[in-house]
Amino acid sequence: MASVSSKPFNPFAMAQAQFDRVAEMINLDHPTRELLRQPLREFHFALPIRMDDGSFKVFRGFRVQHNDARGPHKGGIRFHPQETIDTVRALGMWMTWKCAVVNIPLGGGKGGVVCDPHNLSMREQEALCRAYVRQIARAVGPLQDVPAPDVMTNAQHMLWMLDEFERIHGAKYPGFITGKPVGMGGSVGRTEATGYGVVFTIREALKELNLRAKDTLASVQGFGNVAQYAIELYQQIGGTVVCVSCWDQEDQTSHAFYKADGIDLAALRGICDRFGGIDKKKAVSLGYKILPGDAWIEQEVDILIPAALENSITGDNAGKISRRVKLLAEGANGPTTPDADHILQERGIFVIPDFLANAGGVTCSYLEQVQSNINYYWEKDEVLGKLDVKMTSAFIDVSELAKKNKLFMRDAAYIIAISRVAQACRDRGWV
Ligand code: GLU
C-alpha cells in the first residue's frame, strides 16, 4: 500500500474513527453505533490453485458484508499483494456509505484476494476467480451480495466469476455480478463510470468555487481505470493535467510523470501496461520529466485527484500541498487520513470525499443490474445521462448540507449516508 506515513496505518481503524466522529455529531443511539461500526458478517477462506507449472499454491480470500438494510450488499473484489482483512472491512463499510449517499437501493460489502496478478497467468487468474466464487457461492447472489471489479480486477474476472456461479446454481443469474463485459450482460459506460463520476463532481465543485475548468490545472495520483477516465473527461471539459504518478512494478516504487503544457492521455495509454504502469524510458522519449512518486502532491495546481490506493495523503505529506490547490477530489477509497483532513480543513481546501466522488462506479453497477433484470440494454448516452443525474444530485445534497451547517464536506456526506442507513435499520426493527 502506498504508505508514506511513519505511523502504522489501519484503514478499518480509520473508517471506524470517521464513523464514530459523525455518530457523535448526530447523537446516534448506541445500539445503532454498535451495529454499524462492525460488518454484519465476514468470510475468510483458502483458495488452493494449481499453478501453470503443476505445483499448488494456496491464496487467501476475504468477503466482508458490512450492511444490507437498504438492499443487497454491493462492492468490488480486489486482487492485491498487500490485501488485509482490515482493508476489506474498511472498504466494505465505505461501500455502505457510498450506496447510501447516492441513494441507490444497495448495501455495502467488499472482497479481496492476497495475490499479485502481475505474476499470474490468465489461466491462474481464472482458477482464482472460480475458486473464490465456489467458497462463497451460498452467501452471495443477486438478492444477497453482488460483487464487481476493483483494484486489479476487470470485466473478464467478473465473467469467470459469473460463469462459476451459474454452473453451481444451474441457471442464468446476470444480476449476480456487475462490471461484466458489454455483450455479456455488462452495461456500456461501466468502465468509464468511476472516473467520469469523479469529474461530474469536480464540475459541480468548480461551479461552487467560481472556477472554469479550462482555467484549472490538475495533478493525479494513479493511472489505472479510475485515473484514466477521470483524466479523459476532465480534459474534455477543458482542464489540463500536468502530472500523473503510478506504480512501477520493475522498480517496486512509484514515479510521477510531469509535463508543463499537459499530459497526452492517448500517448501515455499507449505506453502503459494493463495495470496502468507507465514505461519510464518511453515516457522520457516523449518529453516527460520523471519525478519521485510523491511529487504528484506538491504540484502547483488547482485540483488534486488521488486515484490510486488508501493512505496517500497523510499528516506527514499534507503540508506539502501547494497554496494554489483549491479542490481535492478523492477518486481512490480512503486516500486521506484524519490527520491530513485537519490540515485540509484549516487550509480551506474543498474536499469531495471518496464515497461521494468515486460513487460513479457503483451507481453504474446499479444501472447495470437494472438492465440485466429487464434484459434490455440502454445506449451509452442514456446510461451516462442517468449517472450524471444521480451523481449531481448527490453532490448537491451534500454541499447544501455542508453550506447550511458550515460543515466539512466529508462530515456532511457522512451525516447523510449514516442517517439513511440508520433509518433503514430502525425501520426494519433491527435496533
Ligand atoms: N469497486 C468500485 C467501488 O469501490 C465499484 C463497486 C461496485 O460497482 O459494486 O466503488
- CATH number of the domain residue 45 falls in: 3.40.50.10860
Residues 303 and 269 in one domain: yes
Residues 157 and 96 in one domain: yes
- Does residue 68 form part of some domain? yes
- Does residue 3 form part of some domain? no
Residues 211 and 280 in one domain: yes
Of residues 110, 180, 326, 390, which has the active-site annotation? Answer: 110
**Could you read off the pLDDT of 21-77 as tens digits, one per residue?**
999 999 999 999 999 999 999 999 999 999 999 999 999 999 999 999 999 999 999
**pLDDT value of residue 7:** 60
- Does residue 376 form part of some domain? no
Contacts of 174 (CB under 8 A, 6+ apart): 162, 180, 185, 372, 375
- Does residue 419 form part of some domain? no
Residues 324 and 235 in one domain: yes
Residues 203 and 173 in one domain: no
Q: Is ligand 1 within 6 A of the CB of residue 357?
A: no
Residues 302 and 217 sit within 8 Å (Cβ to Cβ): yes
To test the pocket of ligand 1, the residue of 65, 95, 101 to mutate (highest count of ligand atoms within 8 Å of its CB) is: 95
Residues 102 and 390 sit within 8 Å (Cβ to Cβ): yes
Question: Domain of 218: which CATH number?
Answer: 3.40.50.720
Q: Is ligand 1 within 6 A of the CB of residue 80?
A: no
Distance 155 CA to ligand 1 centre (A): 12
Contacts of 309 (CB under 8 A, 6+ apart): 1, 2, 151, 222, 332, 335
- Select from 306, 334, 352 the last residue of a domain: 352
Distance 197 CA to ligand 1 centre (A): 12
- DSSP H helical ranges for 209-329: 225-236, 265-270, 280-285
3-state class of 10 per DSSP? coil
Number of compact structural domains in the chain: 2
- Does residue 224 form part of some domain? yes
258 strand-pairing partners:
243, 289
To test the pocket of ligand 1, the residue of 68, 365, 367, 383 to mutate (highest count of ligand atoms within 8 Å of its CB) is: 365
**Could you read off the pLDDT of 283-294 as tens digits, one per residue?**
999 999 999 999
Residues 87 and 146 in one domain: yes
Residues 45 and 154 in one domain: yes
**pLDDT value of residue 8:** 78
- Does residue 380 form part of some domain? no
| Residue 207 annotated in active site | no
- Select from 352, 376, 396 the last residue of a domain: 352
Distance 41 CA to ligand 1 centre (A): 19
**pLDDT value of residue 325:** 98
Residues 229 and 267 in one domain: yes
pLDDT in tens, the chain (431 residues): 344 445 678 999 999 999 999 999 999 999 999 999 999 999 999 999 999 999 999 999 999 999 999 999 999 999 999 999 999 999 999 999 999 999 999 999 999 999 999 999 999 999 999 999 999 999 999 999 999 999 999 999 999 999 999 999 999 999 999 999 999 999 999 999 999 999 999 999 999 999 999 999 999 999 999 999 999 999 999 999 999 999 999 999 999 999 999 999 999 999 999 899 999 999 999 999 999 999 999 999 999 999 999 999 999 999 999 999 999 999 999 999 999 999 999 999 999 999 999 999 999 999 999 999 899 999 999 999 999 999 999 999 999 999 999 999 999 999 999 999 999 999 999 99
Please give the residue range of the domain that contains residue 293.
191-352
Q: Is ligand 1 within 6 A of the CB of residue 332?
A: no
Residues 154 and 238 in one domain: no
Residues 256 and 296 sit within 8 Å (Cβ to Cβ): yes
Q: Is ligand 1 within 6 A of the CB of residue 150?
A: yes
Distance 92 CA to ligand 1 centre (A): 10
Q: Whose CA is nearest to atom 7 of ligand 1?
A: 362
Q: What pTM did the predictor assign?
A: 0.96
Residues 367 and 383 sit within 8 Å (Cβ to Cβ): yes
Distance 285 CA to ligand 1 centre (A): 36
Which atom in ligand 1 lies closest to the alpha carbon of residue 366? 8
Q: Which residues of 41-75 are buried (b: 16+ CB within 10 A; e: fewer)?
A: ebeeeebebeeeeeeeeebebbbbbbbbbbbbbbb
Q: Is ligand 1 within 6 A of the CB of residue 148?
A: yes
Three cell numbers, residue 396: 448537491
Q: Is ligand 1 within 6 A of the CB of residue 369?
A: no
Residues 53 and 96 in one domain: yes
- Does residue 210 form part of some domain? yes
- Does residue 164 form part of some domain? yes
Residues 208 and 102 in one domain: no
d(CA 292, CA 322): 17
Residues 175 and 198 in one domain: no
- Select from 300, 329, 352 the last residue of a domain: 352
